[in-house]
């Protein structure tokens, strides 16, 4: 049985992408408070916790297929989200649009973007879930440790990003989008260059 220390290291390694995305998210969220950071961190942690279960349930029969496409899915999602963030930062919003509508649109876009980003950064954990099933690891314990670790790491990422936004000002959303695209490219490169 895999120990809690090993699962903690696994959780840290899986949360690296979530951390980078959370830093970008923290830089773009205006006036983010600690409870906002925890909420965003919890969303990342939730998806990082459930995706190993999906892999575990899919089992060995699909492990080759999952490993073959997970990096392409993550790359595509992060490219679209990051590109959209950059586009919206560059175009701004229409001066004719009422401020309430602008806030509501940003909120809706923010929630959908957060969920999609969290899902994209956790897709690789699906293949890890298949491995956990083969190793006969207690999947509940693994998911709790992985999800908890990612929640803490992503929360810290949001806090760091929020403080960094003071220095990067209006370019925060552009940098956040570029960071997401960079994460997607890194995921793709890592998988394609693996022996």
pLDDT tens column, 61-99: 565 666 677 778 778 877 887 787 788 778 764 444 444
Residue 86: closest CA among 184, 162, 176, 158: 176
C-beta separation of 27 from 172 below 8 A: yes
* Mean pLDDT of all residues belonging to the chain: 76
Would you kindly state where each structural domain of the chain is located, as residue ranges? 4-90+103-165
CB atoms within 10 A of CB 105: 13
- Report CA-CA distances (Å) from 82 to 108, 114, 165, 169: 16, 11, 17, 18
Q: What is the pLDDT of residue 173?
A: 67
- Report CA-CA distances (Å) from 99 to 102, 103, 183: 5, 6, 33
Q: What is the pLDDT of residue 149?
A: 93
Radius of gyration of the chain, Cα coordinates, nearest whole angstrom: 17
pLDDT tens column, 73-83: 778 877 887 78
Report pTM.
0.67
pLDDT tens column, 97-133: 444 444 444 444 578 888 888 888 787 777 677 667 6
């Amino acid at each position: 049985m895999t120990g809690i220390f090993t699962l903690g290291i696994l959780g840290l390694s899986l949360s690296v992408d979530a951390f980078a995305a959370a830093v970008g998210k923290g830089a773009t969220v205006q006036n983010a408070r600690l409870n906002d950071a925890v909420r965003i961190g919890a969303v990342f942690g939730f998806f990082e916790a459930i995706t190993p279960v999906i892999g575990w349930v899919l089992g060995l029969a699909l492990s080759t297929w999952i490993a073959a496409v997970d990096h392409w899915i993550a790359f595509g999602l992060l490219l679209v989200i990051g590109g959209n963030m950059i586009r919206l930062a560059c175009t701004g919003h229409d001066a004719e649009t009422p401020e309430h509508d602008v806030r509501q649109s940003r909120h809706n876009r923010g929630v959908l973007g957060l969920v999609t980003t969290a899902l994209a950064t956790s897709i690789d954990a699906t293949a890890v879930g298949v491995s956990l099933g083969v190793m006969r690891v207690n999947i509940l314990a693994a998911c709790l440790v992985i999800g908890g670790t990612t929640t803490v790491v992503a929360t810290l990422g949001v806090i760091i990003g929020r403080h960094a936004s003071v220095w990067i000002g209006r370019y925060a959303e552009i940098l956040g989008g570029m960071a997401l695209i960079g994460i997607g490219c890194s995921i793709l490169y890592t998988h394609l260059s693996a022996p």
